[in-house]
Structure 1
Amino acid sequence: MDLHTVDNGILQHLEEELEKDDWNVMISHFLGVDHCGHRYGPDHPEMTAKLAQMNNVVKNVADRIEMDTLLLVFGDHGMTKTGDHGGDSEGEITAALFAYSPGLNMVPANPGSIHPVQVSQVDIVPTLALALGVPIPFSNLGKVVEELLAKKGESPAEVLNKKVQALAQNVQQVQKYLQEYKKVGNELFGELWNRLEQLNGKINKDLNELTTREKKMAYTEYLNVAKMMCETVWAKFNIAEMASGLILMVSVMALIVLMVLSQANDVLVLKRLLLLTVGVNSLFIFTPYASISVMGYVASGMIVVWLYFHHRYLDCKSSDINITDGFSLFLTLCIYLGSFSNSYVVVENYVISFMLLSLIIMYSLISFLRRQRKKNMSTLSWKNVKVSLNVRNVVCFMAVIVLLVSVRGSSSYWKCREEQSWCVPSQVHTPMNGLPESFRNWRYFTSLFALVLLVWLPRRWLIMCGNLNGSRLGVLLVSYVPVITGVFVAAHWALQAAPLQNSPLSEHAVVPPRLTFAVTILFVVAMYCIPLLIYEVPPKKSFGPVVNHPYGFVPQVYHKLIEKYHDGNSKNSNIPVVYGLATAVSAPVVSIVTALLVVLTMLAGDGLAPAVLVLVVTATSCFVVHALCSWMTANNIETLLKPSWAALCVWFILSVHGFYVTGHQPTFSSLHWSAAFVGFTGDWGGSNFFPTLLVGINTFMAQILFGISLPLIVLAPLAIGVAFPRLRGNRLESEETSRGEFLLVDRPEKAKEAVLFTAVSYILLHAAKVFCSSLSAFVLRRHLMVWKIFAPHFIFEAVGFLVTCCCVVLSTVFFLRVLKVLYAWSEQLRIKNT
């Protein structure tokens, strides 16, 4: 560790700056002692040498300062015998304070005592404020250091009066702060608050009757009690409640591992698990920690559901976790453990992008090698691997390249943290009206182009799949609603860029966003009610067996359905022809996601519209890679529907990556407050609900997007396989995979199990990250960076987890609704053709 570079750099300029008279405050931050303590500890010879160097620096500066200059030398913390800090031991929270000035008459408060005067670090704030002649900061709780107020030549009475005046200003400031703090409903410790009120009354009523020394004692007691009360309230950690919740979470996660590896009867396992979790949670019901019991019941219910589908659907054995899944879970575990490092949290956006790229490359490579092993050999060696340039391999390679480029390019839209000193802020986060006029048109049309692609690409996919044929109400809504809302958003951005002061348009600037919100909500409700995007060709217009058509896929009801609809003696040859049937389940989900993309892009702002497009391109590339890898390794329809842990981990990491791509950081200073004014002028009728909701949607748009589109992980192999038959090759033809998603009608239970397992597993991946964030905040609660880094990280993770849960539940309910309506339609078709 470098002990001298920073210190030597300061020493090169310190003497020069001392000679100048253009400064009022000079701060020299020497880091060598801190680095030396971490590297060698306090008793090493290197520490002795470093302290000797600092002694010489202090001596030289003290000899050069003038009469009206105050020199303060102090550290921000101490250290343990091993050179560490961050805890609450005496050695860690104690540091020396050296004060010197040629013009001050500093007399120790207890002369002759071996114990030095003790002050708190917060006492430096009011002392420096009074010394510089500026008001004491509003939220200060420190007490002015009296020993630094006596000048040489002043009598004891003059010194005492000066101290009383300084303490009076100090008390007045603290009183004002505490009164304002209590007004907003914050908790203050009852007994100490009553004591403060008594002291306050004594100071205000009996002030004229008190001697100067008694006034000083009253002021000093008031400030000491005020600081003690606030320390009691603010530094209070309920260790029992925190530990109980964490132990419960650990117990539940341990049960998951045990049940997954268990070979016992499923029903017996679930009964024992249910009884055990109910028993554990019941221990907390009649305690002050009853809220833990409620959370425990929710967690237990989710785990029971997960285990049910894990055992029933996956038939989990040790062999189910292949090398791809193992590598994916290992990378995910590394992300979890990173929550315990403040350095990791600061650069999490960099690490997440690296993890995502590593996982995608390994996922596609191992899937290819597994396919080669199944196809060509019983044992796989590198010299036997034959790379064939078929369409599937080429497309998979190109999808990985697109993903690499999009992930690397997304760094242009990251927002800088305060701790990222190397980061250069991007202009994409600057409001349109804050840009130079020459730059506004360029950014507007770039953002408009990104918005057009966000609407056009999903629309083009649906047209190609035949889901926008016919005149069903749902088809018409999907065809026009995203286009209309896109026009509204473009108008909103144009009005933002235009000078609206004293313009008749200023009163109508909120109309386009409000129309976008209203139309999107109505569209989502309508799609839930009428989700089918298919077109059944009337019998008189049927034109025989057709596989492809210029306007989309026209999958037929194949012979399995014909056998189901007609008995063996039926001579009916009217085979129905239906447009969009092969993607009938994914098409409504894609439509909902498209409508939400328009709203999320509007809330993100015009500058981040390209970032949303880059994120969508990244997600689409992941879908393609996942679909192709599934076709490479699947042995039957059940394994094709089963999303691997690798795919779930990719989607989980991609959602975390999306949080940073959309210009966010887990810090409160990075919140996009401008989103609160999208559709509002600032007058919210006394309620903060809507602006809070808009800022929340803006902050967690990635969690919303990936939670709503989660069912597409199950559907992507079927949809891409039927859209591009050459990509799936000749595999599973016996299963009639050319029917696409309509084959789920024959397997409704498997489809439900697949999507429910995907939903619960995805939620658990996020829950594990929240657990690690909460555990890190608990373990490092005395860390110097707990309130700066760990606590905000935990808060953002927790709220994002709640948003993820809500969106995953909604998307799962919508998927089951589409499946139910499609099944009902097929039954009506069967009755009609019987």
Structure 2
Amino acid sequence: METTAASSSLVQEIASQPEAPKHVPTDDLIERNNRRKAVQFKASHALLILFFLWLFTLHALGIYFFTKGFLLTRLVLDHKSECASPPIELQKPSPGSYSAGCWYPKTFDKAVVIIIDALRYDFTIPTDDSKHHFHNALTVLHETAVQQPETAFLLPFIADPPTATLQRLKGLTTGTLPVFIDAGSNFGGTAIEEDNLVAQLRDAGKTLVHLGDDTWHSLFPGYFEPNLTHAYDSFNVWDLHTVDDGVTEHLLPLLQSGAKNWDVIFGHYLGVDHAGHRYGPDHVAMNDKLKQMDRILREIIAALDDETLLVVMGDHGMDTKGDHGGESDDEVEAALWMYSKKSIFGHGHNELKKPPRTAKERPVGQIDFVPTMALLLGLPIPFNNLGSPISEAFVGPAKPDWQKLASVNALSAGQIQRYQQAYTAVRGLDKDVFSVANILWTIAVDMWQGAQQKTAPDAEGFAAFVRYQVENLRVCRSLWTRFDVPSMVYGIIVLGCALAILAFYARATTPFRAEDSPLFIRQIVIYLAFGLLLGLSIGMTGSSAGMLDSSLLGAAGGSIVGFACTILEIPSGYPLPFPNSTWGWLSFVLTVLQAIGFASNSFTIWEDEISLLFLATFAFLSLAASIRQHTAKDRVLGMIQSSFFLICTRIASLSRLCREEQMPYCRSTYYSSATSSTSASWQLLIPFALAILLPSFIKGYYKGTRSYAGSAVLWIGVGLRISLLASAIYWILDAADDNNWLNVSEDTLRLVKTTIAQLVLGVSLVAGTTYYGWATPCISIETPEERENGDAMGTQGRKAKQMAVFGYSNMHGSRYFLLVTNWLIAVILLQKPMGGGSIGLLALQILALVEIIDSNDLARSAIGPVMLAMLGNFHFFKTGHQATLSSIQWETAFIALRTIRYPWSPFLVLLNTYGAQIITAVAVPLIVLWKQPPKKKGLLGEVAMAVATFLLYFAVINLATTMWAGWLRRHLMLYRIFSPRFMTAAVALLVVDLIGIFVAIGGFRWNIISVSQVLGWA
């Protein structure tokens, strides 16, 4: 066999022989030899999968232990406030319009609580400059508060981050502060077991009704009257009307009929939140939803009786793009409005004659809602509450009623003092922790008692109790930012050991030998079992770590020791994994620089721009290296591909989603505007451009090695192009749905869209994977007619055959890239048009990169996998993501589904968020396979090294962000910058681990088997 460089073909001349030589193996012997090699390969491949699964487990355990100690938790006390046991004894109130209550005379018998999800405070404030769609649409709240200050007040309602709906509902009903670990439960809340406002209402015999967001039923199962309650799916952000229309349909009849079969109604509207997620706040759809809320609230006011309190609030706000979850001002500043036809409200305590116009004047915390509602309805304040009564609800309409203000604050402060003492006792805290708060408590009680004895105004007592509550809240915030440092250290040690193992495995000078794999696995399993038993023993002795954690630590430590012992047992040994070339040192330096940079908040904020710098640096260096190549072919090819790589990088950099911290030095281009969640109209051309150009570019790379044949023709020329075209049609229909371009019902349009999306995903991930598994190599064979060749064959006149095999030199690479295109289709569909364009450029950069690697003979260098990893990191930002919770594109869950379905909905969001990293992980074997001889020995080991090097980059980034987050745990920007970056890196590592194991290494097996069926086993 002979390979010609010019045509990339194999010319095989088979001359007729009168008799086969005796040393030629028989067909039976060849077949047995091939079967033996196939069995050996499959066994080595299976052991390799087990080895990488073990590394994945170490990564997961390390992240688990660090997260357990880092993401804050608080101890939930199961104490309950009792009506018969007030925290402080009050004098009997003077006769008035207040009927008997529990700790304090109640003001209202019934209440209607309306939650307008994501109702930002400035949505409710009128302005003369209506330059945004959310201005002057919802006016009833401010209007009544200004015109009737004795019956209504409107205040900024400050949420404690994280600003996710479920965490906000917990705070609004328990009066406690959230902790960051609760953010992960937003898609699956568990019932609130601690004392809360809803439980107190139920225990008081109240009939409760819930309408709207079904999150309430996961928090309070069985609390609501089933015959009157109506819950709706809360996560379909594409649906702006179903929930709102359902709430209104059932709420107004309950109010208008004068029905007595309810006491408290909770109505949770979602349309404003969904309009923000889908379009952003500055969109006509937001204007329509706010006007709808204004109209509905006016109808509710008209139907209200004198004994019912009406509360309207937002659980959080939204940022300029309509998202929430973080702690920016727009995300935490919601609105609170209370209304009653009784003239009982006022502002005299702070000398305000009208509601404030900004959140900077008179904000109240959302936890303050709990004691306020409890006292207004005559209930005990929930035991774990840390909020203070909202003064506007108790000060009175005329001159300030200082006695009432002091009384309600005394009750609230007394309950907080009781909670503080119980929490200190249960946690075994030093009593000095609350020393300042306790001093303030003593002073406040003394002033209170003195005022009671002298029957003097209690303004000073009121102020003293407020000071105590503020100080106690400050202490509790600091208590719940106490970290479990030992657990964090355990996690860092496990992650560090896993990184060292990856570095050793990935960058040893020679690939790990297949014959060593059984020894590694055997030793790891033996020592793992020993460590597990040791951990169980320690856990059973009463270790502070607990039996589960001790067992996990023991198993992890034992398996790590087993790996180290195996290295020492191998006679020939392996060299240390230090860089041994210029490119190796470049990979090392770029990775380490990035890891060190995460110690800086500025570096983390501008990581997208720094990633661009690193990729451009590689492009320039590869261009310089290509100029120095000896052969003209390698020189020209390397220069062209390096330039093309740089051009694609610069074009991709035009797609940007700016962080809040980058403003005003950044301009977002990913969406149509800075206040929109939709794409600009011109961006709809990008998917069509992809459908036309991307298959053509890929076809060009294939033709460069004469590989556009066989399976490639059908899949790239037909399957890829049609799938991309269907994706483009999807986004056109989505824009038509958003902008009402078609005279078609929303349900019909949504059905067509989801059907197209399901077909595209089915073709890419199901049909495409099946096709890849059975596909033949991308080669073509030409056999000319037999001809007489007397001169060549000598006087005997024997006949000769010629067989030309085109695509032979890239048989592995061209076939394997078909697997990359499968994932490419799925990820492009799940990105918005600008993100799809970024992923298309990523595909071209991958092809340019493997050409650069080949022309510079760098297949064994670390630079290829590291650059792939950096490409994945770079395009994470170019697809509209940042290391922030608010940049997660939750609406992706509804591209192919109409409702939330597990596990498919999270899977779609994961593909959208980490699509770039997933594609680069799938593409790693191309570094080794592109233009490599089909029968080259040791391909499995080299692919394993490339995958390990790729994972090594993500392991370094994960360990760095983990260590810096732990070290900077008291930093002001921890939860805004460092913690989200740690979580992003942790999830990315686990995702690329799994993709590298099951898709990259698994897909490589199919590639080897397919090629070997054609050529035989090497």
Coarse TM-score class (shorter-chain normalised):
0.5 to 0.7
Match of 1:398 in 2: 640
Equivalent residue for 1:744, pick from 934, 940, 943: 934
**CA distance in 1 between partners of 2:786 and 2:677 (Å):** 58
2:832 is the counterpart of 1:612: no
Match of 2:602 in 1: 343
Query: Which deviates more from structure 2 when the two are superposed, residues 772-781 or residues 297-306?
Result: 297-306
2:1018 is the counterpart of 1:813: no
Match of 2:1015 in 1: 826
| Residue identity matched to 1:443 | Q
Match of 2:68 in 1: none
SS in 2 for 1:428: coil
**CA distance in 1 between partners of 2:521 and 2:909 (Å):** 43
| Residue identity matched to 2:809 | A
Match of 2:552 in 1: 291
- Give, in angstroms, the shift of residue 530 of structure 1: 1.0
CA contact (8 A) 2:657 2:880 kept: yes
Please give the residue correspondences for 1:528-543 in structure 2 after superposition, counting only pairs within 5 Å. Answer: 528-534=772-778, 537=781
Please give the residue correspondences for 1:477-626 in structure 2 after superposition, counting only pairs within 5 Å. Answer: 477=715, 479-498=717-736, 499=740, 502=745, 504-534=748-778, 537=781, 573-574=800-801, 576-626=803-853
Are the structure 2 counterparts of residues 310 and 144 from structure 1 closer, same or farther at C-alpha, using a change threshold of 3 Å?
Answer: farther
Please give the residue correspondences for 1:143-292 in structure 2 after superposition, counting only pairs within 5 Å. Answer: 143=388, 158-165=401-408, 191=426, 231=477, 234-251=480-497, 253=499, 284=535, 286-287=538-539, 288=546, 289=549, 290-292=551-553
2:697 is the counterpart of 1:457: yes
| Residue identity matched to 2:974 | V
Match of 1:783 in 2: 971
**CA distance in 2 between partners of 1:607 and 1:645 (Å):** 31
2:652 is the counterpart of 1:410: yes
- Give, in angstroms, the shift of residue 759 of structure 1: 0.9
Equivalent residue for 1:707, pick from 912, 915, 921: 921
Please give the residue correspondences for 1:645-684 in structure 2 after superposition, counting only pairs within 5 Å. Answer: 645-681=862-898, 683-684=899-900
| Residue identity matched to 1:744 | P
CA contact (8 A) 1:306 1:757 kept: no
CA contact (8 A) 1:324 1:363 kept: no
CA contact (8 A) 2:645 2:849 kept: yes
Deviations 1:265-300 (A, max 9, x none): 998997999699858787655443233445556777
2:948 is the counterpart of 1:760: yes
SS in 1 for 2:927: helix
CA contact (8 A) 1:368 1:629 kept: no
Equivalent residue for 1:357, pick from 616, 621, 627: 616
| Residue identity matched to 1:788 | R
CA contact (8 A) 1:168 1:219 kept: no
**CA distance in 1 between partners of 2:664 and 2:812 (Å):** 47
Deviations 1:503-561 (A, max 9, x none): 6544322110011111222323323431323456486868999xxxxxxxxxxxxxxxx
**CA distance in 1 between partners of 2:364 and 2:700 (Å):** 63
CA contact (8 A) 1:356 1:650 kept: yes
**CA distance in 2 between partners of 1:135 and 1:424 (Å):** 46
**CA distance in 2 between partners of 1:505 and 1:667 (Å):** 32
| Residue identity matched to 2:769 | V
**CA distance in 2 between partners of 1:354 and 1:310 (Å):** 44
Q: Can you give the 5+ residue segments of structure 2 that lack an aligned partner in the other structure?
A: 1-145, 147-153, 157-346, 352-359, 376-381, 429-447, 540-545, 790-797
CA contact (8 A) 2:612 2:649 kept: yes
Match of 2:219 in 1: none
**CA distance in 1 between partners of 2:842 and 2:713 (Å):** 26
**CA distance in 1 between partners of 2:479 and 2:526 (Å):** 37
Are the structure 2 counterparts of residues 817 and 150 from structure 1 closer, same or farther at C-alpha, using a change threshold of 3 Å?
Answer: closer
**CA distance in 2 between partners of 1:688 and 1:173 (Å):** 41
SS in 1 for 2:910: helix
**CA distance in 2 between partners of 1:395 and 1:159 (Å):** 84
Q: What TM-score does the superposition give when structure 1 sets the normalisation length?
A: 0.59
- Give, in angstroms, the shift of residue 817 of structure 1: 2.1
Are the structure 2 counterparts of residues 627 and 793 from structure 1 closer, same or farther at C-alpha, using a change threshold of 3 Å?
Answer: same
CA contact (8 A) 2:772 2:818 kept: no
Percentage identity across paired residues of the two chains = 18
Equivalent residue for 1:774, pick from 939, 962, 977: 962
CA contact (8 A) 2:627 2:639 kept: no
2:684 is the counterpart of 1:444: yes
Are the structure 2 counterparts of residues 752 and 254 from structure 1 closer, same or farther at C-alpha, using a change threshold of 3 Å?
Answer: closer
**CA distance in 1 between partners of 2:678 and 2:486 (Å):** 56
Match of 1:724 in 2: none
SS in 2 for 1:396: helix
- Give, in angstroms, the shift of residue 435 of structure 1: 9.6
2:995 is the counterpart of 1:796: no
Match of 1:689 in 2: 903
- As a proportion of its length, which structure holds more strand? 2
Size of the aligned set, in residue pairs, is 594
Are the structure 2 counterparts of residues 752 and 189 from structure 1 closer, same or farther at C-alpha, using a change threshold of 3 Å?
Answer: farther
- Give, in angstroms, the shift of residue 253 of structure 1: 4.8
CA contact (8 A) 2:810 2:934 kept: no
CA contact (8 A) 1:192 1:225 kept: no
Q: What TM-score does the superposition give when structure 2 sets the normalisation length?
A: 0.50
Are the structure 2 counterparts of residues 754 and 308 from structure 1 closer, same or farther at C-alpha, using a change threshold of 3 Å?
Answer: farther
CA contact (8 A) 2:811 2:934 kept: no
- As a proportion of its length, which structure holds more helix? 1
Compare relative contact order (CA 8 Å, sep 6+) and give the higher one, 1 or 2: 2
- Give, in angstroms, the shift of residue 655 of structure 1: 1.9
CA contact (8 A) 2:866 2:949 kept: no
Are the structure 2 counterparts of residues 602 and 525 from structure 1 closer, same or farther at C-alpha, using a change threshold of 3 Å?
Answer: closer
- Give, in angstroms, the shift of residue 667 of structure 1: 0.5
**CA distance in 2 between partners of 1:487 and 1:173 (Å):** 62
Query: Which deviates more from structure 2 when the two are superposed, residues 793-802 or residues 355-364?
Result: 355-364
Match of 2:210 in 1: none
SS in 2 for 1:426: coil
Match of 2:216 in 1: none
Deviations 1:82-133 (A, max 9, x none): xxxxxxxxxxxxxxxxxxx99989xxxxxxxxxxxxxxx9x98459999xx9
Match of 1:87 in 2: none
- Give, in angstroms, the shift of residue 315 of structure 1: 5.8
Please give the residue correspondences for 1:84-103 in structure 2 after superposition, counting only pairs within 5 Å. Answer: none
- Give, in angstroms, the shift of residue 709 of structure 1: 0.6
**CA distance in 2 between partners of 1:272 and 1:522 (Å):** 35
Deviations 1:678-730 (A, max 9, x none): 1223x23xx443222111110000111100011111123x2xxxxxxxxxxxx
Are the structure 2 counterparts of residues 395 and 257 from structure 1 closer, same or farther at C-alpha, using a change threshold of 3 Å?
Answer: closer
**CA distance in 2 between partners of 1:190 and 1:598 (Å):** 58
SS in 2 for 1:744: coil
- Give, in angstroms, the shift of residue 812 of structure 1: 1.4
Match of 2:856 in 1: 629
- Give, in angstroms, the shift of residue 793 of structure 1: 0.6
SS in 2 for 1:578: strand
CA contact (8 A) 2:695 2:721 kept: yes
| Residue identity matched to 1:592 | L
- Give, in angstroms, the shift of residue 446 of structure 1: 3.4
**CA distance in 1 between partners of 2:897 and 2:983 (Å):** 27
| Residue identity matched to 1:365 | A
**CA distance in 1 between partners of 2:566 and 2:693 (Å):** 39
